[in-house]
Structure 1
Amino acid sequence: MRTVGVEEELLLVDPETGEPRARSAAVLARAEQADAEQDVFETELHEQMLEFATHPQSDMAALGAEIVRCRKEAARHAEDIGCAVAALATSPLPVSPAVGETSRYQWMEREYGIATREQLVMGCHVHVAVDSDEEGVAVVDRLRPWLAVLAALSANSPFWQGNDTSYSSYRSRVWQRWPSAGPTELFGSAEAYDQRVADMMATGALLDEKMVYFDARLSRQYPTVEIRVSDVCLDADTATLIATLSRGLVETAARDWRAGREPAGLGVSVLRLAGWRAARSGLTGDLLLPAGMRPAPAATVVEALLEHVADALADSGDLDRARESCARLLREGNGARVQRDLLARTGSLREVVAACVRRTQGATG
């Protein structure tokens, strides 16, 4: 059974005001002091962000438990230095992001200017094991129509600089400012994939291959396909669902490749529109149904995704739980809807952040 690992980026906030705080280095130092052997947490592009990575897991319940544990540990270390953590993909409150001081981040700020300074966005990246680069590229080619559905399920960034953006995932719109970000054309082979990456590097516009920000890509560090379209999810259960569906998509794509079934020949322009629609609507309106790329209610498109991966999820024992989790999201709403409902109820973005801090650690209020 394929293993899965999850990387989550969390927002550091003031526990009283809800405003982002640039204290990632202090939180990381506190984590290292508490357990020098634990290599879970990392700093990110902005000092208001903290990232953690789970270990590879084959059991989704174990993966979910590790996500919960890492979130609680992040909260504990942040509390020790006077901060809190929130699984929010953008800050609801106004913020002036502080770019990290490493040479890499400073190069990015010089090269990309305001696009770097405004990239205080928190994502969830899912790594799913593959047997080879050839299988990995075949998977990347076949995932493309379904990635927007994952983005809609995870959408958790309706607010930007104190305003409602009218988007469910504004993070994804900010992320698209990177020159290498977004959906990809069909590659067809590992050789063609590698050549495309080499051509991109030859332009001089990217610092290194880690900046090839495809929606789904081959990891250069692990033998995995890395799916990068999701907002960080407000609830750990939603993050586990995204990981479960990602493994189902990878396994289904690999089976299709081995069976000689060709990938859908969709153009990047249509895939971009599917991503935009998912970012705009989330689960509250229409999405684009991968079969034909025509509008359909979100519930219909989510059901189509579940049917697409049903055999793979049944074989791994995850189908019933995935169906239940999708039904709950459609009924109760993703993170974007929860945040908007909180604002409607409290009238305060500060209270929105406070409630999301609690939910990040598993509370419901």
Structure 2
Amino acid sequence: MRTFGAEEELLIVDPESGMLLALADLMLPSLVPPKQPATGVRGTQKPVHEGADFSYELKLEQIETQTRPCLEYTELLRQLRQARVLADTAARAHGGRVAALATSPQGSATHLTPNPRYMTMQQRFGLTVRNQLTCGLHVHTFVESPEEGVAVMDRMRDKLAVLIALSANSPYWNGAETGFESYRTQAWNRWPGSGPTMIFGSLPVYRRTVKRLVESGVLMDEGMVYFDARLARQHPTVEVRVADVCLRAEDAALIAVLVRALVESASREWNDGVEPAPVPTLLLRMAAWQASNCGLRAELLDFGTFTPAPAADVVRALVDFLAPVLEEQGELDLVREGVERIVAEGTGSQLQRGPFRAGGLPAVVERAVELTTQGAAAGEPLGGNVPLDRLRRG
């Protein structure tokens, strides 16, 4: 089994009004161990706390959590829950809470984190940066080599849109009903380096493509290569970036398990000489748009035929496709049960609509705050048993 981990971006909100609060610079010092004090004005380091990492994001109204590498679903779920609790505790100390919402239901001004790179981005990208406040779930999965990583990305690119639908958690945007289940996907894809990619075919082509994108002058640096799946720059992992942050930590852990299975399945195809499905990138954009628009409430584009099919059937087909790997890793029953639970109870987007009907946007945020830390046991130990420098196969 490959190690895997997850990054979650969380909103910082007023628990009563649901409005955004710019508290990240006040919260992060309390998440730094005593022997590693925060440095600099709203610093750029990534503090570590009992196995979880926390960092600034583009706006002071959000905070990012990062788990340690894990081997099992239960281990990852524990880390996700406890990282959320730690972030929420830090927010409470300053009158706020954290909410696992992929976009802010309430409209309010946002504040750029005063980092030189972010300031340059604002000058370069204008309104895109001023309006940018989205929260995603990024899943990292170990790969043996960059060559394997590119081969994996080539062979799973046609299936990533299903994860957008399964994680959809952003129907409201700055006070408005968007008509989308994952409006974060629409907002995020305004960046020039975002979205699905072509089939690279080899590591040199991938490297050359990234180099040319940066040399074009449109992107500031390699950090702005926001592909749906990319090689991580600081870890031996493939990073899948398509999912909304999920209201429920168990949904996030489930999607991470699916990503790991996608990586393992794609690697086996590569080793067996199976070529990537020659799906045009434009068609992948159509699949992503449809998943963003409809989530699980209507039809998705089937990842085999790219024709419309009931969303629940497409999600189940993905599980069936990954069944050999999931069964071998002892996760098939867990995944089937988790997917059926989401199909029956609804995605985060669907779960937001009940509170909205009852009490409007403040009620949406209030319920989201409750669900964000639901299931975390008081005093439960945080962190897995795989050190940061042991990203590997188990």
Structure 2 residue aligned with 1:357: 369
Instruction: State how 1:340-351 maps to structure 2 within 5 Å.
Output: 340-344=353-357, 346-351=358-363
Aligned to 2:166: 153
Aligned to 2:100: 87
Question: Which digits, 9 at most, give the CA deviation of each residue in 1:50-82, with x for residues without a partner?
Answer: 001000001111011110110111111111111
> Letter of the aligned partner of 1:227 in structure 2?
V
Q: Structure 1 17/188 Cα, relative in aligned 2: closer, same or farther at 3 Å?
A: same
Structure 2 residue matching 1:136: 3-state secondary structure: helix
- Alignment deviations for residues 319-346 of structure 1 (CA, whole Å, 9 cap, x no partner): 10010000000001000000012212x1
2:65 equivalent to 1:55: no
2:227 matches 1:214: yes
Q: Assess if the C-alpha contact under 8 Å between 2:81 and 2:375 holds in 1.
A: no
Distance 1:313 1:200 in 2: 36
The reply to whether residue 229 of structure 1 matches residue 229 of structure 2 is: no
For residue 33 of structure 1, report the CA deviation from its aligned partner: 6.0
Kindly provide the amino acid, as one letter, of the partner of residue 25 in structure 1: D
Further displaced range: 346-355 or 237-246:
346-355
2:177 aligned with 1:169, yes or no? no
SS class of match (1:348): helix
Q: Residue 292 of structure 1: which of 305, 311, 321 is its match?
A: 305
Q: Tell me which amino acid in the other structure corresponds to 2:161.
A: A
* Structure 1 SS opposite 2:234: coil
Q: TM-score, normalised by structure 2?
A: 0.90
The residue identity in structure 2 corresponding to 1:2 is R
> Residues 145, 232 of structure 1: CA spacing in aligned structure 2 closer, same or farther, 3 A cutoff?
same
SS of the equivalent of 1:58 reads coil
Deviations 1:249-302 (A, max 9, x none): 000000000000111101111000000000000000000001110000011100
Residue 200 of structure 2, aligned match among 170, 187, 194: 187
Task: Give the aligned residue type for 2:359.
Answer: G
Tell me how far 1:352 sits from its aligned partner: 1.0
Deviation at 1:30, TM superposition (A): 2.0
Match of 2:117, SS? helix
- 1:222 Cα offset (Å): 0.4
Aligned to 2:251: 238
Paired residues for 1:1-365 under 5 Å: 1-32=1-32, 36=36, 38=49, 40-344=53-357, 346-362=358-374
Aligned equivalents of 1:309, 1:359: Cα separation in 2: 29
The structure, 1 or 2, with the larger RCO (C-alpha pairs under 8 Å, 6+ apart) is 2
> How big is each residue's C-alpha offset from its partner over 1:114-139, in whole Å with a ceiling of 9 and x where there is no partner?
00111100000000000001110000
Alpha-carbon distance between aligned partners in 2 of 1:126 and 1:6, rounded to the nearest angstrom: 5
Alpha-carbon separation, structure 2, partners of 1:235 and 1:226: 21
8 Å Cα contact 2:194/2:228 also seen in 1 = yes
SS of structure 1 residue aligned to 2:21: coil
> What SS does the aligned partner of 2:230 have?
strand
Amino acid at match of 1:90: T
For residues 25 and 328 of structure 2, what CA distance do their matches in structure 1 show?
Answer: 43
> Could you tell me which amino acid in structure 2 is paired with residue 362 of structure 1?
Q
Residue 160 of structure 2 aligns to a residue in which SS? helix
Q: How many residues align?
A: 363
Q: CA deviation at 1:347?
A: 2.9
Unaligned runs of 5+ in 2: 37-47, 377-394
SS in structure 2 of the partner of residue 168 of structure 1: coil
Report the residue type matching 2:74 in the other structure: A
Instruction: Find the aligned partners of 2:152 and 2:11 in 1 and give their Cα distance.
Output: 31
List structure 1 runs of 4+ shifted beyond 6 angstroms: none
CA separation in 2, counterparts of 1:33 and 1:47? 21
Identical counterparts, % of pairs? 45
Instruction: Show structure 1 runs of 5+ residues with no match.
Output: none
Task: Read off the aligned partner of 2:23 and give its amino acid letter.
Answer: R
1:309 match: secondary structure:
helix
Secondary structure at the residue paired with 2:63?
A: strand
How much has 1:34 moved relative to structure 2? 6.7
Once residues 19 and 129 of structure 1 are traced to their aligned partners in structure 2, the CA distance between those partners, rounded to angstroms, is 38
Q: How much has 1:351 moved relative to structure 2? A: 1.1
**Corresponding residue SS for 1:205:** coil
Partners of 1:129 and 1:40 lie apart in 2 by 18
